[in-house]
Structure 1
Amino acid sequence: MRRLLLPLLALTLTACPGAGPAADALDKVKARGKLIVAMDVGYDPFEVLDPDAGTPVGYDVDLVQAFAKHLGVEVEYKNVAWNSIVGVLQTGKADVIVSGMSVTPERQKTIDFSRPYYYVGQVVVKRKGDARIKGLADLNEKGMIVAVQESTTGEQAVRENAPEAELLRFAKTDMACMAVIQEKADAVVFDRPYLEKYVRDQRPDELEGIWEPFTAEAIAAAFRKDSGLLRQAFDATIEELAASGELDALVAKHFGEAAVADQQAKRAAAPAQAPAPAEDPAPAETGK
């Protein structure tokens, strides 16, 4: 995917007081008057390009808008290929990644995460009527070909749980799905929200899912290590949205009413902050 700089989304907002001399990246954002957000646009329903407006829309976008309102700034979106997105953040070309990123111990070595704002899991999608595949275990056989988006937790999940399978890596998950339809692969593994919407809306006659997730992942915003107060401001935004009921309304808007109770239960059971990395974390790909 080529990098695309999308137009500024101007907001009429009220500034909030500065956080003091140690405000790090927060001071820079407020002085600039603009929050620069890195996204891999095309991860529906988290973020997708509105073809008419030419700007991103989705769950992540609504959260960013609320965050910008909290800060009193405008927003600039950078559409970045997924395998480059952490580098864009670390080199200072963006202030934050809000793009359906899963928290992993490996990532926590180099970037900091906000409190989780959604919970997902990996699922298997296959050709409709393919009786050979009833679950993840059926992929762990020589001769099975599994399509994945490169550098994602879906790829890592297949490596860990179906090591006998051959991997076909693609830049985008829709390309991986097409490989299954074209019988170049037997199944695709990726996050349930994206695959469920893709199959339902675009390929209901060709693909079907095994919708029980086999992983449990927390989605959070990613920040550089010098962005502690900016991260805390994002956390405060999520807390405000949760307390007011607006977060549940956004979940219903983008994922359906049935997702609200599920997300409420997972938020209640999970720690408010993304857990610290283990001392010796298992290797993990940088991805969704």
Structure 2
Amino acid sequence: MFRRAFLGLALAVATLAAVPAPAAGLPDLKGRRIVAVTENAYYPLNFTDPKTGKGIGWEYDAVNEIARRLNATVEWQTTAWDSMIQAVQGGQFDIGMDGISITDERRKQIDYSDPYMVSEQFMLVRGNEKRFADAKSFGADAKLLVGAQSGTTNFYVAVSDLLGGNDKSPRLKLFETFGASLQALKVGDVDTVLMDMAGAQGNMDAAPGVFKIVGKGLGHDEFGFIFKKGSDLVAPVNAALAAMKADGTLARLEKKWFYDYKITN
């Protein structure tokens, strides 16, 4: 998915000020039901609240607020990342999200919203790691392994920036979920995974001393919501995003989820 990364961000949702529904100057969807889908496993964009078991995060808040401003309702669904784009393309869901990078190749299959976030990937390692300190020194040691989820941003950046473009490298270990790759890092089955800064910081805060970041940011991706080709939701969603950026809502969401929120069990 050329998705996953966080940092450079530029939007996130929070407890929002009251806005008419639909907001002045925005399209009125007249109570339309929008079926939204996410993986619910990509902190802090979408994940399960450990206290309530409910899905929360930046993307949940952002889409709920977009729907409110457009006089629409949201029905939330979850699906695995590897089937999401195909499901949205086939019309099973109206809008999809999972930190999905905007690429020309994907534009052949689906439509995107305007970018809602810009991100970089960082090397998350175990807290006692001393064998390497950046992408160059990692790449130079053939014994070191990187974990990734196939088709994701962390996969593509790992291949391009750590493995010299070799997507068949035996040093690349693939996992079905990002959580599985993180657990593999924790127990020593791999030596690094790539994450956006906010996600990495959240995991470091949740387990002090277990993980740390080394090196500089890698990759540079823009994230967008995805839609079936020709969807009539693209323009209204873009209008709502523009309004949320202009009135400071996106900045408040960024602060809420990428700086203020802390994982607690």
User: TM-score normalised by the shorter chain: which range applies?
Assistant: 0.7 to 0.9
Question: Within 2, Cα distance between the matches of 1:105 and 1:57?
Answer: 29
Q: Which amino acid aligns with 1:223?
A: F
Q: How many Å apart are 1:168 and its aligned residue?
A: 1.0
User: More helix per residue: 1 or 2?
Assistant: 1
Mapped partners of 1:159, 1:15: distance in 2: 44
* 2: CA distance, partners of 1:200 / 1:52: 17
Q: Is the 8 A contact 2:122 2:194 kept in 1?
A: yes
Residue matched to 2:259: 256
Aligned to 1:75: 74
Equivalent residue for 2:249, pick from 246, 249, 253: 246
Whole-angstrom CA distance in 1 between matches of 2:75 and 2:52: 15
- 2:122 alignment partner in structure 1: 123
CA drift at 1:54: 4.3
Match of 1:91 in 2: 90
Letter of the structure 1 residue corresponding to residue 147 of structure 2: A
Q: Whole-Å Cα distance in 2 between the matches of residues 14 and 180 of structure 1?
A: 46
- The one of the two structures with greater contact order (alpha-carbon pairs below 8 A, sep at least 6) is 2
Q: Which moved more, 1:69-78 or 1:234-243?
A: 69-78
Letter in 2 for 1:78: Q
Deviation at 1:212? 3.1
Runs of 4+ residues deviating >4 angstroms: 51-54
Of 201, 206, 210 in structure 1, the residue corresponding to residue 210 of structure 2 is: 206
TM-score normalized by the length of structure 2: 0.80
CA gap 1:14/1:210 in 2 versus in 1, 3 angstroms: same
Q: How many residues matched?
A: 235
2:149 aligns to what? Answer: 149
8 Å contact kept, 1:125–1:209: yes
Aligned match of 1:192: 197
Identity %: 23
TM-score (norm. length: structure 1): 0.74
Aligned residue runs from structure 1 range 1-288, under 5 A: 14=21, 30=29, 33-51=32-50, 53-140=52-139, 141-163=141-163, 166-201=171-206, 203-210=207-214, 212-227=216-231, 229-256=232-259
Deviations 1:146-201 (A, max 9, x none): 11122201111111222265111112222212212211111112333222211221
RMSD: 2.5
Unaligned runs of 5+ in 1: 1-11, 20-25, 258-288
